[in-house]
């Protein structure tokens, strides 16, 4: 669910040094793509299809790398991978289209939301993730003791 994916993305930003915007966008893009294709446009049978594959991860990361560079691509890749890993509790077609998957017909958006709301453990876990993420954002990172202290060079010129 969106709340949990946002939490995972912010934690990835914090602990893996991923840039915030690409890691958050990549953290939700698999659902945006697949839910739009399935529930929005009725073009695919499942809400977890092309966006939830390693092929989707690889192709989108290459595009991001070409457009915005290495650091943004790294941030994108870990955000996207974090989404796929967070979805492991359900069916994730990691290797589609190279491996055949039997896609169950996906329920509509409201049915999915209703099912999620009836699972208090999952809601609590997602809220805990988001709370942890919010706490890490508010807590300043420790400064390493190995960080060099800037020095000031002062030249003293003797007067006339
Ligand atoms: Zn998903």
Q: How far is the CA of 71 from the centre of ligand 1 (A)?
A: 24
Q: How far is the CA of 138 from the centre of ligand 1 (A)?
A: 27
Q: How far is the CA of 65 from the centre of ligand 1 (A)?
A: 22
Q: How far is the CA of 122 from the centre of ligand 1 (A)?
A: 14
Query: Given this model, what pLDDT does residue 89 score?
Result: 80
Angle at CA of residue 112, ends 107 and 113, nearest 5°? 150
What contacts 4, CB < 8 A, 6 or more positions away? Answer: 86, 125, 126, 129, 130
Query: Given this model, what pLDDT does residue 129 score?
Result: 85
Whether the CB-CB separation of 91 and 84 falls below 8 Å is answered with no
pTM of the shown model: 0.79
Spell out the domain ranges in the chain.
2-137
Helices then strands, counting H and E runs in the chain, come out as 6, 0
Query: Given this model, what pLDDT does residue 37 score?
Result: 93
pLDDT of 56 higher than 60: yes
Angle at CA of residue 75, ends 49 and 106, nearest 5°? 15
Residue with tokens 């003293």: 156
Question: What pLDDT band is residue 41 in, cutting at 50, 70 and 90?
Answer: very high
Query: Given this model, what pLDDT does residue 120 score?
Result: 87
Q: How far is the CA of 85 from the centre of ligand 1 (A)?
A: 9
- pLDDT tens sequence across 104-156: 888 888 888 888 888 888 888 888 888 888 888 777 766 555 655 566 666 76
The rounded distance, in Å, linking the Cα atoms of 30 and 39 is: 14
């Amino acid at each position: 669910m969106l709340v949990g994916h946002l939490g995972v993305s912010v934690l990835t930003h914090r602990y893996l040094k991923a840039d915030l915007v690409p890691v958050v966008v990549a953290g939700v893009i698999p659902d945006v793509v697949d839910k739009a294709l399935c529930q929005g446009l009725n073009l695919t049978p499942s809400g977890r299809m092309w966006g939830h594959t390693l092929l989707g991860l690889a192709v989108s990361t290459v595009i991001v790398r070409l457009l915005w560079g290495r650091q943004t691509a790294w941030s994108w890749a870990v955000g996207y991978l974090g989404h796929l890993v967070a979805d492991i509790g359900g069916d994730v077609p990691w290797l589609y289209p190279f491996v055949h998957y039997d896609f169950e017909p996906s329920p509509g958006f409201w049915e999915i939301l209703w099912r999620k709301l009836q699972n208090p453990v999952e809601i609590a876990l997602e809220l805990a993730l988001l709370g942890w993420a919010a706490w890490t954002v508010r807590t300043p990172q420790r400064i390493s003791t190995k960080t060099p202290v800037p020095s000031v060079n002062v030249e003293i010129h003797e007067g006339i």
